[in-house]
Chains A and B, each alone.
Chain A
Amino acid sequence: MENIYVLTDAVESRPTRNTLELLGLGHRLAQAAGLKLRAWLPGPARGQAATAVLAAGADEAVILDEPRLDTYQPELWLQALTATASAPAAVILPADSTGRDLAPRLAYRLQSQLFTDAVEVSWSDGAVVAKRPVYGGKAIMTARVAGPVVLTVRAHTASPLAEPKTGGEILREAVQIDEAVVHTRLVEHVEEKTEGVRLEDARVIVSGGRGLGGAEGFAELQKLAAILHAGIGASRGAVDLGWAPPSWQIGQTGKIVSPDLYLAIGISGASQHMAGVASAKTIVAINTDPEAPIFSYARLGVVADYKKVLPHLITALAAALKQ
């Protein structure tokens, strides 16, 4: 029988939110196709999450039992995934820095098709049918993929199972690792310190663009963020100018976020930016240009210079939130 594979990630025994989404999707696909869903857990450390991974939708949790896989190393991971993918009908990876790194090379090694950044995946007439934004979100492409396919799936586009699944099997696979394939070595991981709320978890995000006019603008935004307990984001325009660190970038090539409230300040609303906030509940924009595209995505808009509005907004919000 053919299998559907999901690459999972976990912190101790807890699968990440994104993993839960991918397992939910994988489970539904496997049901529709009459296939088995196998979840990969690279390294014994991730193996602790095996029980939770079964509950989240997998029929089999496959622990790749080799300690050198505990930390991400693309060449070793590719070796292990290629060796353990048996009869893959579809391989689902997250559309994050790991999944996007692996997907083309894994597809090539498995001689399968490749579909990146999917936002909708279904099973129809014996094949995967998937949708993805192209041209920076100005168009949506639907494609049918007959035969094995490696997919990356965007965060916040699939839902986890509503109820835990029972049953399933935990398998430990010994994988042979050949270090001769390693040509890239991690020297150091540098974590950017984020004061305040992580963008991924933020219910409220205040975000700034080129319209802020400088790094000082982001200092003003910090004040607003502090009152709202918000995370701070930025457009690529602001990141390229060095006003905000790259990890703040929101959009199709930055973070995909899902807040209840997204306040876009001095951001024009390019489709590539808006791709990152497609699942935000309420978008509010402050922009001097009444024609700015952001106003066709926002629920509420203010046409004004942010420098004049922000101080009043901070005062009014502080007063309102005290009540």
Chain B
Amino acid sequence: MKIAILLKRILDPEVSPHKFSLEPGATRPSDAGIPKVISPFDENALELALQLREKSPGSTVTAISMGPPETVEILRKALAVTADAAVLVQIETDPGPDAFGTASTLAAALQKTGPFDLVLAGRQAGDWDQGQVGSLVAEMLGFPCVTFVTQASPSGNGLRLQRESENGYDVIDADLPLVLTVTNHPGNVLRLPKVRDVMMANRKPVTTIAASDLAAMSTKIPPLEILALEKPPAVAAAEIVGGRDEQEIAARLVQKLQELKVL
């Protein structure tokens, strides 16, 4: 199986709100002083790709990311957990929230470097939180798509999947070629790289393709017209319930809850 995994490099989503700043009128946050990481659900998707390769000998995993040249850092991380190949689809600046544009460039890159039997993406990127690109890539490639997948294994000519639903999960059999979008599960937390593999990763080549050289499918659909990007209204600080010891604290808390009539 030839597997591609789409990785996005984003501002660390765990950064505390007070370090996150927006210039007035800007349509993107300032990235000063905030580390950039692989988007968390993409890590889950990468882990699933590596597990599938183990279950289906002879498979390869190719990591693909669209971003500015520094994006190579996250591709090195993918190589360090033993991805077989890496492709940088180079653009000038960090990608914005134009999902149709991103998806058509990635679909063209997949066609150029493929063909792939399976394309994995995160359920949503932890910056714009859109949850669109994976399914759009599927449409553009003409592949079926299963979203919110947590587990996958080879079955017959296709894959047997677990898809998370509101109150449990569905077991789904899907044909290849296929696109999956992946969500978090204890079984797909990304493994840690081995020291030796980190060193090897630095020597592996990363293929660079300029996005402008790709014959991306043109879409008639224009990007969203962003009118404003603002911080949410400030929230008030909690009233801290204290006391001599835990027993008194508990009693006071219950009293307060009764006063607020929420019990």
Interface residues of A (CB under 8 A from B): 74-75, 96-97, 100-101, 103-105, 107-109, 111-117, 129, 132-146, 183-192, 194, 198, 204, 228, 236, 239-242, 246-247, 252-253, 255, 260-261, 270-272, 281-282, 284-285, 290, 293, 295-304, 308-309, 312-313, 315-317, 320-321
Contacts and interface: CB of A to CB of B under 8 A. Distances in A.
A247 B249 contact: no
Contact of B186 (A108, A183, A242, A299): A242
Interface of B: 11, 13-14, 16-17, 20, 22, 29, 41, 97, 99-100, 123-124, 126-132, 134-136, 138-140, 144-148, 150, 160, 163-175, 178, 183-186, 189, 220-222, 224-232, 235-241, 246-247, 249-251, 253-254, 256-258, 260, 262-263
Contacts of B220: 111
Contact of B262 (A108, A184, A253, A260): A260
A116 B130 contact: yes
A140 B232 contact: yes
A23 to B, nearest CB: 20
Given A236-B184, A240-B189, A189 B13 contact: no
Contacts of B165: 97, 189
Given A101-B148, A113-B224, A295-B237, A309 B246 contact: yes
Q: Please list the 10 inter-chain residue pairs (A to B) with the smallest Cβ-Cβ separation, ordered nearest first.
A: A312-B250, A301-B238, A242-B186, A104-B135, A183-B144, A298-B238, A108-B139, A192-B168, A187-B171, A142-B228
Nearest to A188: B171
From B29, B260, B262, name the one whose CB has the most chain A CB atoms within 10 angstroms: B262
Contacts of B145: 74, 105
Given A184-B146, A242-B186, A320-B263, A109 B170 contact: no
A301 B175 CA distance: 51
Nearest to B169: A190
A31 B200 CA distance: 63
Contact of A135 (B29, B185, B254): B29
Contact of B224 (A104, A105, A145): A145
Contacts of B172: 184-187
Contacts of A114: 99-100, 132, 221
A21 to B, nearest CB: 16
A183 B157 CA distance: 12
Contacts of B97: 134, 141
Contacts of A188: 170-171
Contacts of B226: 141-143
A143 B236 CA distance: 27
A192 to B, nearest CB: 4
Contacts of A115: 224
Contacts, number: 252
A135 B129 contact: yes
Nearest to B219: A111
Grouping DSSP codes into helix (H, G, I), strand (E, B) and loop, the A interface class, with mixed when no group exceeds half, is: mixed
B253 A239 contact: no
A275 to B, nearest CB: 9
A133 B185 contact: no
Grouping DSSP codes into helix (H, G, I), strand (E, B) and loop, the B interface class, with mixed when no group exceeds half, is: mixed
Given A116-B130, A312-B251, A139 B231 contact: yes
Contacts of B16: 293
From B129, B185, B221, B239, name the one whose CB has the most chain A CB atoms within 10 angstroms: B129
Contacts of A297: 235, 238
5 contacts: A135-B13, A189-B170, A190-B168, A295-B237, A312-B246
Given A141-B228, A261-B263, 5 more contacts: A108-B140, A113-B222, A300-B257, A320-B254, A321-B263
Nearest to A114: B132
Nearest to B228: A142
B113 to A, nearest CB: 22
B238 A255 contact: no
From A189, A236, A272, name the one whose CB has the most chain B CB atoms within 10 angstroms: A189
B164 A97 contact: yes
A139 B186 contact: no
Contact of B257 (A141, A144, A236, A261): A261
Contacts of A270: 14
Nearest to B254: A316
A152 B165 CA distance: 16
A296 B166 CA distance: 29
A139 B29 contact: yes
A246 to B, nearest CB: 6
Contacts of A309: 246, 249-250
A309 B17 CA distance: 29
A286 to B, nearest CB: 9
B240 A303 contact: yes
B17 A271 contact: yes
A239 B128 CA distance: 23
A246 B150 contact: yes
